[in-house]
Structure 1
């Protein structure tokens, strides 16, 4: 075994699925998180705080790390703070590995806010769709740009190669993740069923009617490992989406059907989840008792604010995958199946109730 991956944020939605792909491909995987959350069989778990370089050094020394997969972030109140904090997290990790490892390649996971702008300037002047990797950066401060520049500088100084992945909304199995729309909608659908309510789309008319796409976290895992091992992918940035497109007006009834509930007619204006589900924990506690669910609160599982932000965009958003296709990554994932597979997994793990 001459390839050892360090997956930073291994218990998150991106990190978990990257680790699964690496393990399936025969890699040795070291998974770094700040504290124990759950074990991933086959992963060597280490615990460190990426805000502290010495902590990362202590966790990685002697591990023989050859590849880095950096898939964590910390939400701050402003984009200036996002740049400072998230930039420092990556810097600390790269500086630590410069002392403890002979790094060959680093993979950075960012997202389509590269083209949309940060939350505080969200979609104010987005790039044109479909988003392509050759489009210039937007004239806004963006912590993704900060992290890219840190990565590029470290790679040039330390002699490793890099790749950057820009997924759209990620759908996949991970619990307690701030960006997991799939689990959020699973909790929402289960609550609607329990209360006998219609499944109301919370977002904007542009999202309801416009073209969009998503990223299955399993596909992200495969794409990230491909870019770390494919010579043609070195020192490249890649969009990472499923490869199909849809409109939410088409997808929403399919999701409602998965919970045995009715999709409400669209009102023509946003109806955010965060305001409507202030008492979700109370409903979820009753559901947990009735169906013997895993011991989570609704607010442990769902990120109402992030799903509202994604579905409330006043512009359409979808990415082009031609660059990856031209270099040999031909993987594809049906987006409806992404949701349905996740719901099946959540039921099997007793996170949400069965639909009887």
Structure 2
């Protein structure tokens, strides 16, 4: 057993799915987070603060990872602070591991904000890329914490001699409680509230998103690409987009999501109707639903991240992901997007997160 994985951010959508996949493939797997997930069998928990180098060094003292998967980030009010904090987390981790001389590969998960700009300039005029987005698109001439994270990986790779890969998913869909960017669970909670309250399931986004082509990334697909890139010689030292492999229009998918819950779908109607405002008063309703249906999480804010779903669905352009770079190197995983959502909804229902 020569592969030892360290998943940084093991409680998130990407990290938890990746950890489960690594364990299935017989990797020794450590999961680093501030509040470790003890529910994944055979995952070795590591509790540490990525902003505290001493904390990291002590927590990782007994581990010798060969492959590091960095899936964590922290949101702050300004991009300058995002850059400072998120690059420091990467730098601290790789500094704490540097003396061990065991790391062979580091995989960093970022996303399509690489092409669309950071939150405070997200998909605004002047920063809009040509679509489908491709890895060779140059960096935007604005500050972006994804760039700072990449640069921290490049610097450490030059110092310590490991290979690297950068992974840029588009809207990761999967289960994670307390996650800051979680469209799948947000829509599941929204639909459940609509059903309980007798409200229509209204599309919250823009005309461009409603009518344009889009894609998403199943967390299981992302996990497989991370493992593939970290163990494939031809994939080393490259950036990879990653999505399901199909495309859709929300005006085609929205009604199918509504049908799964047995509710009325309402499409785009003249203007954006932010979901954050829609759900802002629904905390008490969700608490009542949690008690009525014996759900496992009564705090609406730990399941839904409406602000992020609004950002994705209110973009002024259609956004698709080109997958040619990894396809030609041998990564051919495909996932039907309808099944991505339906599989998640069923999992959430079985595990008592939605009624």
| CA distance in structure 1 between the partners assigned to 2:178 and 2:338 by the alignment | 23
Matches within 5 A, 1:1-356: 1-124=1-124, 125-353=127-355
Contact residue 254 and residue 267 of structure 2 kept, 8 A: no
1:271-301 Cα offsets, whole Å, 9 max, x none, are 0011121121111111112111113311111
| CA distance in structure 2 between the partners assigned to 1:300 and 1:153 by the alignment | 35
| CA distance in structure 1 between the partners assigned to 2:266 and 2:160 by the alignment | 55
Q: CA deviation at 1:101?
A: 4.8
| CA distance in structure 2 between the partners assigned to 1:308 and 1:265 by the alignment | 15
Matched residue of 1:150: which SS? helix
Matched residue of 1:327: which SS? coil
Contact residue 39 and residue 45 of structure 1 kept, 8 A: no
Contact residue 7 and residue 71 of structure 1 kept, 8 A: yes
Q: CA deviation at 1:198?
A: 0.5
Q: CA deviation at 1:37?
A: 4.5
Contact residue 13 and residue 176 of structure 2 kept, 8 A: yes
Q: Which runs of 5+ in 1 are unaligned?
A: none
Q: How many residues align?
A: 353
Contact residue 242 and residue 323 of structure 2 kept, 8 A: yes
Q: CA deviation at 1:203?
A: 0.5
Relative to structure 1, the CA distance from residue 267 to residue 90 in structure 2 (aligned partners, 3 Å threshold; closer, same or farther) is same
Q: Pairwise CA RMSD of aligned residues?
A: 1.0
Q: CA deviation at 1:318?
A: 1.0
Contact residue 177 and residue 301 of structure 1 kept, 8 A: yes
Q: Which runs of 5+ in 2 are unaligned?
A: none
Q: TM-score, normalised by structure 2?
A: 0.98
Q: TM-score, normalised by structure 1?
A: 0.97
| CA distance in structure 2 between the partners assigned to 1:99 and 1:35 by the alignment | 25
